[in-house]
Amino acid sequence: MEFTFALVVSSGICLAVALFLITATKKKNELGARKLPPGPPGWPIIGNLFDLGVMPHVSLASLSKRYGPVVWLRLGAVNTMVLSSAEAAMDMFKNHDLTFAGRNITEAMRACSYDEGSMALGQYGPYWRMLRRICTTELFTNSKINETEHLRMKCIDNMIRWMWDASLEQGSIQLSRFVSLMSFNVISNVMLSEDLVDPQTKGGDEFFTSISRTTEWGGKPNVADFFPLLRWLDPQRIKKNMTRDVGHALDFASAFIKKRIIDRKNNIRNTKMDFLDVMLDFQGNQKDGEPADISEKNITIMILELFTASTDTTTSTIEWVITELLRNPSVMRTLQAELDQVVGQNKRIEEVNIGDLHYLQAVVKETLRLHPPVPLLVPHRAMEDVIFMGYSVPKNTQIFLNVWAIGRDPSCWDDPLSFKPERFLSSNIDYKGHHFQFIPFGAGRRMCVGLPLAHRMLHLTLGSLIHSFEWALEDSIVPENMDMRERLGITLRKADPLKVVLKLRLPQENSDAVK
């Protein structure tokens, strides 16, 4: 049963009030002597929870207009600092990157000890550095990504064929479903050397469904995260449900690992090494806390994490960019013209073309500016007391970086609410963590490790879709009246999934994907 965030918080107050009053009073006295950042007054017990609203990134952007780029909130028992300007982001990553490299772990992500094997959510330390090193040297280098281009091309061709077949049968199709399946198969090929899902069969469907459910539970507000005294009760049953679905996904991934171990022992592997082989072969240096190898359970957690991160980010971004192109037909026409000129109408787009498709790159950037996949990034945590921009920030403070607000800041962007890819054509601004007015993937030590692959995936997928099809909305919808409401889970999705009507743009005999 669904409860609103406010009602859930209220339900926990009665259970936490007695003990919380004691601890809150003590903390208030300790913090009172410090110069904290400005922020709105809070309510007894719950603090500023109601200030988050239904869409926290939007509510926090409004608070920053009143209190400034650094805002202090007390969310139940959790001290929280919100940063909403490029200057604050630059100070954070240039001067305090290590101090703020910790993570604030939610109860959902403690299910099955998921956080202990996670790179995105794990605490900064020897094990985290080891995982990061494996990813940056064995999976996401340019040479490794180049080796798997044919796999991405195959998965995108399959997606286009599925979309066209479904369009012929149904008329309109839900875009996100097909992009999700494609993204899932890209990762399964890179990691496990095989496709796992398609629209017709149930192969891999249990794994796909379990991972989809974990993103649902992981994105739900949980009263136990704000009132630690309620963790044992799990009043919303979020951790219970997460444990079930993460458990199913771990079991599925574990079966792949066990089979691979047997195949390797029997020397029946006929394909090149994939990421699973790399993880199984890894030998740590056993120095400074680094383990000798990676446990089977932690390998399964890494597999789950890469599936989740890649599928959600790609799907949400592609859905938003097609939405914006349908709302801005002149941008669509300009992009199609560039594809015709650079790629040509007698062949499909390849990754080698991306560097010459400047308008395509600008369209992707403009979409990420307005619709960052994770609008507050993954929350950081202060690992020690620190002075930040003149304010005292206590150890264990949670840090939200509102990249959604920064991307719409008029001090950084002209006409910030308009979709204008042209703004990037004469600019060297990119999303690689050096331009702090535009950091949809973060920056510093905890920056998204999969960015090199995400860059290829977003451009190749979008270019292939626009080059292959003419796009239209269902008859009852006009572009000016499209529903642009957001739905916030682990990623920022379109509340009303985009449905489109397709028409082949290229002559069928020249369209490799639909032959």
d(CA 190, CA 209): 20
Q: What distance in Å separates the CA atoms of residue 169 and residue 40, rounded to the nearest whole number?
A: 54
Phi-psi region of 290 (alpha: psi -120 to 50; beta: other; left: phi over 0): beta
Pairing of strands 492-494, 486-488: antiparallel
The pLDDT value recorded for residue 194 is 86
**pLDDT surpasses 60 at 23:** no
Quote the mean pLDDT of the chain. 90
State if pTM tops 0.85: yes
The tens digit of pLDDT for each residue in 124-138 reads 999 999 999 999 988
Sequence-distant (≥ 6) Cβ neighbours of residue 150 within 8 angstroms? none
Confidence of residue 118 (pLDDT cuts 50, 70, 90): very high
- 388-414 pLDDT tens trace: 999 999 999 999 999 999 999 999 999
SS3 assignment, position 114: helix
pLDDT value of residue 514: 62
For the chain, how many helices (H) and strands (E)?
A: 17, 12
Distance CA 124, CA 385 (A): 16
The answer to whether residue 14 scores a pLDDT higher than 50 is no
pLDDT-based confidence at 201, cuts 50/70/90? low
Query: What does the alpha-carbon distance between residue 427 and residue 414 come to, in Å, rounded to a whole number?
Result: 13
Q: Average pLDDT of 98-112?
A: 95
Per-residue confidence (pLDDT) for residue 202, from 0 to 100? 60
Inter-residue long-range contacts of 336-343, CB under 8 Å, 24+ positions, other chains counted:
336/466, 336/467, 336/505, 339/463, 339/466, 339/467, 343/463, 343/467
Model confidence pLDDT, tens digit, residues 476-490: 889 988 999 999 888
Say what the pLDDT of residue 508 is.
58
Structure tokens at 275: 């990421």
**Is 448 annotated among the ligand-binding residues?**
yes
417 CA to centre of own chain: 22
Whether 195 has a pLDDT exceeding 80, the answer reads yes
Mean per-residue pLDDT, 218-224: 92
- Which CATH number covers residue 93? 1.10.630.10
Identify the weakest region by mean pLDDT among 35-44, 169-178, 232-241, 274-283. 274-283
Closest-CA residue to 100 (of 109, 89, 86, 85): 89
pLDDT value for 204: 60
Beta bridge partners of 492: 488
Domain count of the fold of the chain: 1
What would the two tokens of residue 424 be? Answer: 């990037």
What DSSP letter does each residue of 391-413 carry, written as one string? EEE-TT-EEEE-HHHHHT-TTTS
Query: Which pLDDT band holds residue 8 (cuts at 50, 70, 90)?
Result: very low
Task: Give mean pLDDT, residues 253-262.
Answer: 91
The pLDDT of 202-214, averaged and rounded, is 79
pLDDT exceeds 50 at position 345: yes
Q: Please give the pLDDT value at position 147.
A: 92
Tokens standing for residue 288? 């400074």
Taking phi over 0 as left and psi of -120 to 50 as alpha, with beta for the rest, 374 belongs to: beta
Is pLDDT larger for residue 315 or for residue 17? 315
Mean pLDDT for the stretch of residues 268-296: 84
In this predicted structure, the answer to whether residue 286 has a pLDDT above a threshold of 90 is: no
Share of residues in the chain with pLDDT > 70 (%): 91
Q: Find the length of the chain.
A: 515
| pLDDT tens per residue, range 299-316 | 999 999 999 988 999 999
* SS3 state of residue 434: coil
Given this model, what pLDDT does residue 462 score?
98
- Give me the domain span that covers residue 352: 5-514
Q: Which two tokens stand for residue 371?
A: 């619709």
Contact 156, 461 (CB under 8 A): yes
Tell the burial category of 41 from Cβ atoms under 10 Å away from its Cβ (0-12, 13-18, 19+).
exposed
- CA–CA distances in Å: residue 277 to residues 269, 282, 332, 353: 10, 8, 42, 31
State yes or no: pLDDT of 15 exceeds 60.
no
Residues 6+ apart with CB under 8 A from 151: 186, 189, 190
Residue 354 has pLDDT above 90, yes or no: yes
